[in-house]
Structure 1
Amino acid sequence: MLRARNKRINTFDENLKRLVQEMFDVMYKTDGIGLSAPQVGINVHLMVFNPAGERGEGEEIVLVNPVLYKASKKTLFYDEGCLSFPGIYADVERPASVKIDARDITGAKFKVSLSGLPARVFQHEFDHLKGVLFIDRMTDDVLESIQSQLQDLEKKYESRTGLPTPESVSNNQKRKAAVGFSQR
């Protein structure tokens, strides 16, 4: 699901509002600060986030069909985690600020500029909409430092599902070569 192609949203109705609320509920219950629709098994261009990570604090942001149209040349490393990779945290390099076009939950178009933690959260979730995972953005040294944790997660998946892991960390190097700070 995390590598699948995601579709644009064209219908802005009660179902979308319900999905957004459910995504915020999942995000808060799992102590997250951002969540994309593919992470809950729905392959559409939708993300929710709140850098404060607490319901009632900070600002809840909903972005439908977001488009990144500008990223700063300045980049920063920051220790990131991902709800799809529980308990794994590592440094990821990302642009310090971004400019975005998106739609809100009613379908209205808007532009927003983000910097700091909100920019990072947006980029992490935006990557999910493009089938890119945070491990794809890690340097070889950082990836190597968490390899045993990733392998443990793969084993846990296999034992719980009885299925082989859909993607092995040992194959990740091939994917990394194709990942850049794409705006599309």
Structure 2
Amino acid sequence: MARAYTWLQLSSLSQFILPRNYLRFANPLSSILPNFVSSPASYSSLSKRSMRHLIPVLAQAKRGPSFKDNEVALPADLQFEAPLKIVEYPDPRLRAKNKRIGKFDDNLKNLVDEMFDVMYKTDGIGLSAPQVGVNIQLMVFNPVGERGEGEEVVLVNPRVIKYSKKTVLFNEGCLSFPGIYADVQRPESLKIDAQDITGSKFTIDLSGLPARVFQHEFDHLKGIVFIDRMTEEVVETIREELQALEKKYETETGRPSPERIGTRKKKVAVGFGKS
């Protein structure tokens, strides 16, 4: 496809990119971007699938639950068992509060490694901690989606400072919604602050695909899933697939689904604000 994205400069990315084994890859990010944007892919906690051009639009957006996010995670909150498994809709862990990370240790690095492993194994290019059942404010992604290629991005305790007024429509997928793809409208660019794997703080502007991936994963950290950002008309086109996931959850857990797309109605909130 044509180059439809505005990419981050390599110098800006250097503060929060952690390649495999925490060593920078020999080839810079700029050298792999042309190959990525010209090849088929989709994205998100995003699975790789056929892309289409971003369509500029102005619109409203839906909001999910809102949490106070100043509670710091305890050691027990960061416990996990490998190999990690993807948490699928409508598992309540996707709606749970995600605590801030206050300790930057080997356990956190091990969790990051495991998250990248499951992301690559499930054909994704982005993943948030709640999607593997760990309710903390952590996300990872690699725009190329291939182990040993591209740059691995790790963001801890991210915050959005400002969203752009211009928004774009894009066909998103999500590892927590296997096989489901639908249009989601999001701001084209934004400014964020975050911490890296060592706890160092930084501020950076994101645009194009990196901004899209970040927003999808950031929503997960807020207990928001991508169907919350869809219009009712778009949700209707995937209603049967969502109901199938609800039925699967009930069969596997023996519990009633915590969400029922067939009866749920969500109100539309205007715009994206600071968070």
Q: How many residues align?
A: 183
SS at match of 2:262: helix
Structure with the greater relative contact order (CA < 8 A, sep ≥ 6): 1 or 2?
A: 2
Cα deviation, residue 171, structure 1: 4.4
The corresponding residue for 2:129 is 37
Distance in 1 (alpha carbons) for counterparts of 2:274 and 2:182: 23
1:154 and 1:180, CA in 2 relative to 1: closer, same or farther beyond 3 A?
farther
Q: Which of the numbers 125, 137, 140 marks the counterpart of 2:229?
A: 137
Query: Residue 121 of structure 1 corresponds to which residue in structure 2?
Result: 213
Structure 2 length normalisation: TM-score? 0.64
1:140, 1:160 → 2: CA distance? 28
Report the alpha carbon displacement of residue 153 of structure 1 after superposing the two structures with TM: 1.1
Instruction: Please tell me whether residue 51 in structure 1 is matched to residue 143 in structure 2.
Output: yes
Distance 1:20 1:172, change over 3 A: farther
Question: Would you identify which runs of 4 or more consecutive aligned residues in structure 1 move more than 4 Å?
Answer: none
State the AA in 2 paired with 1:58. Answer: G
Gapped regions of structure 2 (runs ≥ 5): 1-92
Q: Once superposed, what is the RMSD of the aligned Cα atoms?
A: 1.4
> Which has more radius of gyration?
2
Letter of the 2:155 partner, please give it.
L
Matched, 1:8 2:100: yes
Q: Please give the alpha-carbon distance, in whole angstroms, between the structure 2 residues aligned to 1:112 and 1:126.
A: 15
Contact in 2 for aligned 1:136/1:179 (Cα 8 Å)? no
Change (3 A) 1:154 1:118: same
Q: Deviations over 1:17-70 (max 9, x none)?
A: 000000111111111111111111111110001111111222211000000111
> How far off is 1:179 after superposition?
8.0
Q: Give % identity.
A: 72
How many angstroms does 1:157 deviate by? Answer: 1.4
Map of 1:166 onto structure 2: 258
- Structure with more of its chain in helix, by fraction: 1
Task: Report the counterpart of residue 157 of structure 1 in structure 2.
Answer: 249
Residue of structure 2 in register with 1:98 after alignment: 190
